[in-house]
Amino acid sequence: MRSPHSRRILAASIAVVALAAVAAVLVSTAGGSKSTSKATLTLYSGQHPQTVNAIVSAFEKATGISVAVRQDDEGVLAAQIMQEGSHSPADIFMTENSPALEALGTRGLLARVGPAALAKTSAKYSSSRKDWEGVSARISTIVYNTDKLKKSELPRSVMDLAQPKWKGKLALAPTETDFQPIVTAVAARYGQARAEKWLQGIRSNASGHIYPDNESLVSQVNSGQVQLGVINNYYWYRLRDEVGASKVHSAAALFAPGDAGYVIDVAGAGALKSSKHAAEAQKFLAFLVGPVAQKIIASDESYEYPLGSGVKTTKDLIPFATLRPDPITVKQLGTGGLAISLLRSASLL
């Protein structure tokens, strides 16, 4: 979980990233033979620590290659890599969302991913430049209080949340990077002027219920302090695990198929072009999308969808193949700079 302070740092750091963006041998994905390399890989990770730690442990056991993890918000780490340039100690960068990777990729700081690794994930979830790979995914959802709202009363579109009927009933966590892809999708569909007007409307409707993180948002919805909000799917599932089914007074639901509020967020990874351990870094990328790491993701408490090697989640998520999200691509989601600009214009950052 992130603190409010780290959320503010994150928003500022992603802005730095967005501005900067403007201006080999693969082991088998099951692990393969152990390496004789004495190198220690440095992984900058903005992903869930428990997931990363489990994958790193499995990789070290399978290959004999050590990995040192530096954990922080992905925006902070991306900005740090920008500042470090060719002297960055990072070998690999792993994120929860694609914009930070896109920012580094458009800057030319990422190395191409080996073709065998890229082949294990659908191309639409990886960089069009082939310099980072999709590893796992989440879906944006509505979370609503089941004592106050029926499913039939929920908005069909994210745009409806700006309507006066939701005033005082809507919760927002606008500094969460998970919210930025929705803003980008709205701008892509309706244009920037309408997107900014929409943001102003939802800010007004959420007055008094703007939270620093999605954990707070889903908790407030569940307790009945507010009726509904927009989150990534895993926050509701994790709340259910934490409080127990008997204390759950909320549920998750999807917007209408293809709606701009119904977005797939891709978590990915790339190797730094400046890495002194390029071969080992490529082995780690291959491992991430191989069956061992993907099965860890499939059963992990982060409730993400594995994207590689044909592995399916073991959690009770909506089947990935049945999702009908907005067709926006990771390339169109870009670096997050547009979303940040619009959120600032609407005084939500």
> What is the tens place of the pLDDT at every residue in 34-46?
555 578 999 999 9
Q: Tell me whether residue 99 is in a domain.
A: yes
Q: Tell me whether residue 327 is in a domain.
A: no
Largest Cα separation within the chain, whole Å, is: 64
55-77 average pLDDT score: 96
DSSP lists the bridge partners of residue 69 as 43
Radius of gyration of the chain (CA): 20
pLDDT of residue 3 exceeding 90, the answer is no
Cβ neighbours for 290, distance < 8 A, ≥ 6 positions apart:
28, 29, 30, 120, 308, 309
Q: Tell me whether residue 172 is in a domain.
A: yes
- 253 and 292 housed in the same domain: no
- 90 and 227 housed in the same domain: no
The count of structural domains within the chain is 2
- pLDDT at position 37, please? 58
- 127 and 242 housed in the same domain: no
Q: Which of 127, 57, 62 minimizes the C-alpha distance to 95?
A: 127
- 259 and 270 housed in the same domain: no
> What is the tens place of the pLDDT at every residue in 71-99?
999 989 999 999 999 999 999 999 999 99
Confidence of residue 22 (pLDDT cuts 50, 70, 90): very low
- pLDDT at position 34, please? 56
Spatial separation of the C-alpha atoms in residues 344 and 338, rounded to whole Å: 10
Full 3-state SS string of the chain: CCCHHHHHHHHHHHHHHHHHHHCCCCCCCCCCCCCCCCCEEEEEECCCHHHHHHHHHHHHHHHCCEEEEEECCHHHHHHHHHHHHHHCCCCEEECCCHHHHHHHHHCCCECCCCHHHHCCECHHHCCCCCCCEEEEEEEEEEEEECCCCCHHHCCCCHHHHHCHHHCCCEEECCCCHHHHHHHHHHHHHHCHHHHHHHHHHHHHHCCCCECCCHHHHHHHHHHCCCCEEEEEHHHHHHHHHHHCHHHCCEEEECCCCCCCCCCEEEEEEEEECCCCCHHHHHHHHHHHCCHHHHHHHHHCCCCCEECECCCCCCCCCCCHHHCCCCCCCHHHHCCCHHHHHHHHHCCCC
Q: Tell me whether residue 333 is in a domain.
A: no
- 120 and 164 housed in the same domain: no
Confidence of residue 12 (pLDDT cuts 50, 70, 90): very low
- pLDDT at position 338, please? 96
pLDDT of residue 282 exceeding 80, the answer is yes
- 151 and 12 housed in the same domain: no
Q: Tell me whether residue 324 is in a domain.
A: no
Query: 94, 44 in Cβ contact below 8 A?
Result: yes
Report pTM. 0.87
- 203 and 232 housed in the same domain: yes
- 258 and 288 housed in the same domain: no
Q: Tell me whether residue 323 is in a domain.
A: no
For residue 175, give the CATH number of its domain. 3.40.190.10
- 103 and 163 housed in the same domain: no
Q: Tell me whether residue 325 is in a domain.
A: no
- 131 and 270 housed in the same domain: yes
Q: Tell me whether residue 330 is in a domain.
A: no
- 291 and 253 housed in the same domain: no
> What is the tens place of the pLDDT at every residue in 131-164?
999 999 999 999 999 999 999 999 999 999 999 9
Which residue would you say has higher pLDDT here, 228 or 19? 228
Task: With both helix axes pointing from N to C terminus, report the angle between 192-205 and 180-190 in degrees, rounded to the nearest 10.
Answer: 130
- 150 and 256 housed in the same domain: yes
- What's the whole-number average pLDDT of the chain? 90
Q: Which of 181, 208, 218 minimizes the C-alpha distance to 343?
A: 181
Range of the domain at 43: 4-137+266-318
Structure-derived torsion over alpha carbons of residues 197, 264, 4, 204, reported in degrees to the nearest 10:
20
Q: Residue 184, by phi and psi: left (phi above 0), alpha (psi -120 to 50) or beta?
A: alpha
